[in-house]
Structure 1
Amino acid sequence: MRLRLVRQDTKFDFFSRWKIWLGISAVMVVVAFASFLQQGLNYGIDFRGGTTIRTQAETPIDIGAYRAAMQTLDLGDITISEVFDPSFDENQHVAMVRIQAQDDQEAVTVEVIEAVEAALTEVAPNIQFVSVESVGPKVSGELIQTAAIAVLLAIGAVLIYIWLRFEWQFAVGAVAALVHDVILTIGIFSELQIKFDLAIIAALLTIVGYSLNDTVVVFDRVRENLIKYKKRDLREVLNISINETLSRTFMTSATTLLALIALFVLGGDVIRGFVFAMIWGVIVGTYSSIFVASAILLWLGVKRDWTKPTDTTGNQFANVDA
């Protein structure tokens, strides 16, 4: 007897209040956009500019002690991470200390660097300062522009892919869901003022791929059922399709969240922002695949006179038991 987290014969009506769900999503998007315009994002050193100091010591690195020693300097955003490399010697411990730019200056002043070195020397007397590198505001601005272009190009590529694989109505629904996910993720970072850096851009692109995969699985089954149930209306076909893929969706989302929650709790401060973005993205991505992408498809309608063969439609993983 196999354990099922979701019954195989579920018959939930996901579209009894589909207009309300679309309205809720629209309100959340407006709130996220308004928060972004009102208070912006808490940009990290990658986007704000700053200085990176590479240290090396013979004793193991205590990130907590490093951070505590630098708190009295009042330098704003400080990121400390340990560098691991198989080529390092056994007693070679390397860390990267990133300090945000002070008062829109091109780089951290020599006095500040000396103060940081003095503070870290008290924690690790044998510490060495291997290199000091600075990222100015101009480079940071270029990084913001490049990151925005990367996200927009990813969404544009999705639009073309879905349009070619399905129909334009499917493409509009899928892209609307992706834009919804990206805006809500940026919005939650703006609302909570969580540090926003290049790792979050990587998370956004990962969320786009995750949400797209979930949406395509549902749309594949919708296309198959549109051919199979030619006399049933679109709303009924969408409900059948989502219920048939619900087991796969639940299993994928649940197992992904288990891994992400473990990373969020045990992974430390360095990756916590990235993992938080992924957790939020998995939740809103699963939601949008059903209540945004499919609801927009129901709203736009789709033609029913397809002549494509049915033996290659659908998805082989759609009925995986959870």
Structure 2
Amino acid sequence: MNLSFSDLGNDLYTGKRSVPVVASRRRFYLGSVALFLIAVLGLATQGLNLGLEFRGGSEFRVATSAAPQDYEQTAREAVGAADNTQGVNVTLVGNDTVRVQTERLSDSDSQKVRGDLAQAFDVPERDVSATFIGPSWGASVSQQALRALVIFLVAVVVMLSIYFRNWKMAAAALFALAHDLVITVGIYALVGFEVSPATMIGFLTVLGYSLYDTVVVFDKVRENTQEAFANGRMTYADAANLAVNQTMVRSINTTVIGLLPITAVLVVGSVFLGPGVLVDLSLVLFVGILVGAYSSIFIATPFLVTLRRNDDAVVELGKRAERHRSKVERERAARPVVGDDGAPVPVGAGAPAEREEGSTLTGRAVHQYARSGPRNQPKRPPKSKR
């Protein structure tokens, strides 16, 4: 049987199909813990590859008609003629510019490296530019970025606590944000991606994307759990899991659509432009949005259920839902429900057969249109018999 993506989304929304995200939360926790430990290990052993803007140093750019294939070795050999050149980083910017970054060089060493690079690449010395960046600028950027991060997190906690009227929702969202930030930074450390000021901006942007997805899911969780508390037909975990399923396709679609232009920019920037602000920003957005989509679906809501599992209201709702389930089972025993294939439909949380006519799985009434004609159209008087 062929099942389209739209049909799958409709089945997940109505409850005909269900992905047990909340029930399998321990597996997702273990996966996140493994990623978290790997990220922390990468940060501890390798650290971040800070760009020149943060650590300071000298940068040389050689403008050539066409960079040779062995440009990296050629540049390293040329720079090796000067003293104090540890930590040399050679990259290709576009197709015709070689960028060489070193530790801070003196004026005489810098002038000597310019001449050696010009001779090595057979270009005039005027085509080799030399710049120096002090570490104080990078320290100022880092300080401002950390300050913005703290303000952002405080604003998130206050806003979500007021909007959802539940501090545990704010705590779950904050946990998902920390999850995304640590794993994204850890991936950067493991792979060795260079961290530039554009990367710092990308980190903050990723937190916004992740929070957006989490708020959408939590809004549906609040709607479903409010209905569950009102009628006692579903447990808190079942209502939250239904919310995740109802928003899953939307989250996936949003992530894919958001990644398409970022992927295009990343590929074009890497192939044709080389290292730069565009590549740095698109790279961190690509990694962060993927991690954020995962946490919004598989971490935030399950962690909220874990935080609220011992609340008195949630425990009482579980007892009411169990009584409702027992009542449905007794009614099924007296009058079993048969599916399209002739087999009895099993009783279970979220099963379509448990939904009463004219209501959703959580018990919310659904408007029923008149079957005799269009809505709000007055009925015609009966024709008189002649």
TM-score, normalized by the shorter chain, greater than 0.5: yes
Alignment check: 8 A CA contact 1:22 1:292 kept:
yes
Cα pair distance change 1:241/1:51, threshold 3 Å: same
Equivalent residue, structure 2, for 1:151:
149
Equivalent residue, structure 2, for 1:206:
205
Letter in 2 for 1:77: N
Letter in 2 for 1:240: L
Letter in 1 for 2:250: R
Cα pair distance change 1:205/1:66, threshold 3 Å: farther
Equivalent residue, structure 1, for 2:30:
23
Alignment check: 8 A CA contact 2:172 2:303 kept:
yes
Select the structure of larger CA radius of gyration: 2
Q: What are the Cα deviations for residues 126-148 of structure 1, in whole angstroms up to 9, with x where unaligned? A: 67469754222344334333333
Q: C-alpha distance in 2, partners of 1:98/1:175?
A: 40
Alignment check: 8 A CA contact 2:259 2:286 kept:
yes
Matches within 5 A, 1:3-22: 4=5, 6-10=8-12, 11-22=18-29
Runs of 4+ with deviation above 6 angstroms: 63-66
Alignment check: 8 A CA contact 2:89 2:101 kept:
yes
Alignment check: 8 A CA contact 2:206 2:292 kept:
yes
1:51 match: secondary structure: strand
Cα pair distance change 1:257/1:117, threshold 3 Å: farther
Letter in 2 for 1:239: N
Matches within 5 A, 1:1-150: 4=5, 6-10=8-12, 11-52=18-59, 68=72, 70-72=75-77, 73-74=79-80, 76-78=88-90, 81=93, 97=99, 99-101=101-103, 105=104, 107=105, 109-116=107-114, 119-120=117-118, 125=123, 128=126, 132-150=130-148
Alignment check: 8 A CA contact 2:75 2:100 kept:
no
CA drift of 1:41 comes to 1.2
Equivalent residue, structure 1, for 2:162:
164
Q: C-alpha distance in 1, partners of 2:56/2:286?
A: 27
Q: C-alpha distance in 1, partners of 2:19/2:99?
A: 52
Q: C-alpha distance in 2, partners of 1:234/1:183?
A: 29
CA drift of 1:282 comes to 1.5
CA drift of 1:4 comes to 3.7
Q: C-alpha distance in 2, partners of 1:235/1:125?
A: 69
CA drift of 1:63 comes to 6.6
Q: C-alpha distance in 2, partners of 1:172/1:211?
A: 14
Equivalent residue, structure 1, for 2:237:
235
2:23 match: secondary structure: coil
Structure 1 stretch 283-292 or stretch 14-23: which is displaced more? 14-23
Normalising to structure 1: TM-score of the pair?
A: 0.75
2:9 match: secondary structure: coil
Q: What are the Cα deviations for residues 85-123 of structure 1, in whole angstroms up to 9, with x where unaligned? A: xxxxxxxx9x8956232xxx4x55432344235524775
Equivalent residue, structure 2, for 1:314:
none
What are structure 1's unaligned runs of at least 5 residues? 83-92, 305-322
What are structure 2's unaligned runs of at least 5 residues? 13-17, 315-386
Alignment check: 8 A CA contact 1:51 1:99 kept:
yes
Equivalent residue, structure 1, for 2:268:
266
Q: C-alpha distance in 2, partners of 1:161/1:130?
A: 52
Alignment coverage as a number of residue pairs:
285
What is the RMSD computed on CA atoms of the aligned residues?
Answer: 3.2
Letter in 2 for 1:154: F
Alignment check: 8 A CA contact 1:226 1:237 kept:
yes
Cα pair distance change 1:96/1:67, threshold 3 Å: closer
1:219 match: secondary structure: helix
Cα pair distance change 1:201/1:108, threshold 3 Å: farther
CA drift of 1:278 comes to 1.9
1:15 match: secondary structure: coil
By relative contact order (CA 8 Å, sep 6+), the higher-ranking structure is: 1
2:221 match: secondary structure: helix
1:99 match: secondary structure: strand
Alignment check: 8 A CA contact 1:70 1:116 kept:
no
